[in-house]
């Protein structure tokens, strides 16, 4: 009886959210795409009459020299900049506050987020703190807790995975409690985004793999959820097709510019899809596992995805069968169940080719009860998943994912 009542509550909440979402204005970043497109960004910043910018990045980006030409071009346009490069793999409250303070101290007028999902998330939340100086970060978690226009935000992704340049979400971590919290607000959608494949050429294969599977998870969870729309389904389909066609090539031949560009496009489309249609329990589990064991988010998603899809069972046979047809891995006489199973097997096969493990070895038995609660607190009632799960379901899933 409890399960039925709680499921009704979750579905009612999700229906209301879908209606509200359909009535909201969805801003989209202005895109600069293609080889060497980063060279156009300084002029765009200048066109916004910005003379001082904060660049949020990490030490790896600096050491790889990915920003060198960009910084020269900024100077050529007489744009001053200050760099915050201390963002760690899962941005913390300390990272965000440090970035915010540097922005204020240097009288910056805009923010450039340069890197993967972590610098982008850090920049987004730092922007929120700049315009809401009296609101603590923890009080921004959840939906629509910012509601104020951020400073101009220019995003330059150097991985093809998060799609953060298109989303209203950002995630921060509380290191002492191993908790990861999402902040979701329309104001977090950046104004400008640069999709330059040359910036992803130096990505190590394992990061190419994990971030690519992150994008695939976004596309699939958006497609199978109950808040998808005609537009989000189109974006999810295109992203899924691009990923199946290009991820392994980008992984094994990182200098293939076309594959890199296609993966950036796929990540962007998947980001647009899931920011409107939401994600599901794959992300809820990945966030809590990542918080506990510092497991990279894309890698966690890649491992968890097949387990959750299998657990959903018949509730997703139809949408997965459709995706199987669209990526060309089904036969005409296959049933919906057979096509869905082939699609899940194709994900497992892609993981194998990308050398992604099948289990998470870090999970400790004693942590599972806390992780169950955190994953469900994130997923319910917000995520419009195909099938509502409860504590016993989440516990079974974590046992399956955990290495023996």
In a domain, 107, yes or no: yes
Q: Which of 146, 165, 198 is the last residue of a domain?
A: 198
Using CA atoms, how far apart are residues 34 and 197, in angstroms rounded to an integer? 7
Specify whether 216 is located in the same domain as 305: yes
pLDDT value for 180: 82
**Confidence (pTM):** 0.95
E strands within 68-185?
Answer: 80-84, 110-115, 142-143, 153-157, 169-174, 179-184
Q: Residue 99: give the domain boundaries.
A: 23-198
Q: What is the pLDDT along the chain (404 residues), one digit of tens a residue?
A: 889 999 999 999 999 999 989 888 889 999 999 999 999 999 999 999 999 999 999 999 999 999 999 999 999 999 999 999 999 888 999 999 999 999 999 999 999 999 999 999 999 999 999 999 999 999 999 889 999 999 999 999 999 999 999 999 999 988 777 788 889 999 999 999 999 999 999 999 999 999 999 999 999 999 999 999 999 999 999 999 999 999 999 999 999 999 999 999 999 999 999 999 999 999 999 999 998 998 999 999 999 999 999 999 999 999 999 999 999 999 999 999 999 999 999 999 999 999 999 999 999 999 999 999 999 999 999 999 999 999 999 999 999 999 97
Specify whether 223 is located in the same domain as 357: yes
Using CA atoms, how far apart are residues 250 and 246, in angstroms rounded to an integer? 6
Sign of the CA dihedral with 395 first, then 396, 398, and 399 last: positive
Specify whether 74 is located in the same domain as 168: yes
What backbone phi and psi angles, to 5 degrees, belong to 52? -135, 125
Using CA atoms, how far apart are residues 189 and 110, in angstroms rounded to an integer? 14
Specify whether 181 is located in the same domain as 247: no
Q: Give the number of C-alpha atoms closer than 13 A to the C-alpha of residue 262, restricted to the C-beta side.
A: 20
Q: How many domains does the chain have?
A: 2
169-174 and 179-184 as β-strands: parallel, antiparallel, unpaired?
Answer: antiparallel
Q: Which of 170, 198, 226 is the last residue of a domain?
A: 198
In a domain, 15, yes or no: no
Among 222, 207, 377, CA closest to 297: 207
Specify whether 238 is located in the same domain as 262: yes
Q: Which of 198, 227, 249 is the last residue of a domain?
A: 198
Specify whether 149 is located in the same domain as 230: no
Using CA atoms, how far apart are residues 147 and 128, in angstroms rounded to an integer? 9
Specify whether 265 is located in the same domain as 382: yes
Specify whether 174 is located in the same domain as 320: no
Residue 138, both tokens = 């923890």
80-84 and 169-174 as β-strands: parallel, antiparallel, unpaired?
Answer: unpaired
Sheet holding 179-184: strands in order across? 142-143, 179-184, 169-174
In a domain, 91, yes or no: yes
142-143 and 110-115 as β-strands: parallel, antiparallel, unpaired?
Answer: unpaired
Using CA atoms, how far apart are residues 338 and 107, in angstroms rounded to an integer? 59
- Residue 69 belongs to domain with CATH number: 3.40.50.1970
- Residue 241 belongs to domain with CATH number: 1.20.1090.10
Specify whether 366 is located in the same domain as 287: yes
In a domain, 179, yes or no: yes
């Amino acid at each position: 009886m409890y399960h039925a009542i709680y499921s009704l509550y979750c579905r009612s909440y999700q229906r209301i959210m879908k209606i509200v979402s359909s009535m909201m204005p969805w801003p989209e970043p202005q895109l600069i795409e293609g080889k060497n497109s980063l060279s156009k960004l300084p002029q765009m910043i200048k066109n916004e009459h910005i003379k001082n910018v904060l660049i949020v990045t990490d030490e790896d980006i600096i050491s790889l020299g990915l920003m060198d030409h960009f910084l020269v071009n900024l100077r050529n346009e007489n744009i001053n900049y200050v760099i915050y490069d201390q963002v760690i793999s899962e941005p913390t409250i300390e990272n965000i506050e440090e970035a915010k303070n540097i922005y204020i101290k240097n009288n910056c007028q805009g923010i450039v987020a340069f890197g993967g999902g972590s610098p982008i998330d850090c920049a987004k939340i730092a922007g929120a703190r700049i315009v809401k100086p009296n609101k603590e970060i923890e009080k921004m978690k959840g939906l629509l807790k910012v509601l104020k226009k951020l400073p101009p935000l220019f995003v330059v992704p150097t991985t093809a995975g998060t799609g953060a340049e298109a989303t209203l979400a950002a995630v921060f971590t509380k290191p002492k409690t191993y908790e990861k919290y999402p902040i979701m607000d329309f104001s977090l959608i950046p104004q400008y985004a640069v999709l330059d494949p040359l910036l992803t050429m130096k990505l190590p294969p394992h990061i190419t793999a994990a971030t690519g599977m992150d994008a695939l998870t976004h596309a699939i969870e958006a497609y199978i959820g109950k808040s998808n729309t005609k537009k989000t389904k189109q974006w999810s389909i295109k992203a899924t097709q691009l990923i199946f066609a290009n991820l392994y090539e980008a992984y094994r031949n990182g200098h293939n510019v076309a594959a890199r560009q296609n993966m950036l496009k796929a990540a962007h489309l998947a980001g647009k899809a899931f920011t409107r249609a939401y994600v599901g329990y794959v992300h809820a589990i990945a966030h809590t596992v990542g918080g506990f064991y510092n497991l990279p988010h894309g890698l966690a998603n890649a491992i968890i995805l097949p387990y959750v899809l299998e657990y959903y069972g018949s509730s997703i046979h139809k949408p997965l069968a459709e995706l199987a047809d669209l990526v060309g891995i089904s036969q005409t006489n296959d049933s919906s169940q057979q096509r869905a199973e082939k699609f899940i097997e194709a994900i497992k096969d892609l993981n194998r080719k990308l050398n992604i493990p099948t289990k998470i070895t870090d999970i400790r038995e004693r942590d599972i009860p806390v992780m169950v609660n955190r994953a469900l607190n994130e997923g319910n009632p917000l995520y419009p998943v195909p099938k509502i799960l409860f504590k016993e379901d989440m516990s079974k899933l974590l046992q399956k994912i955990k290495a023996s």
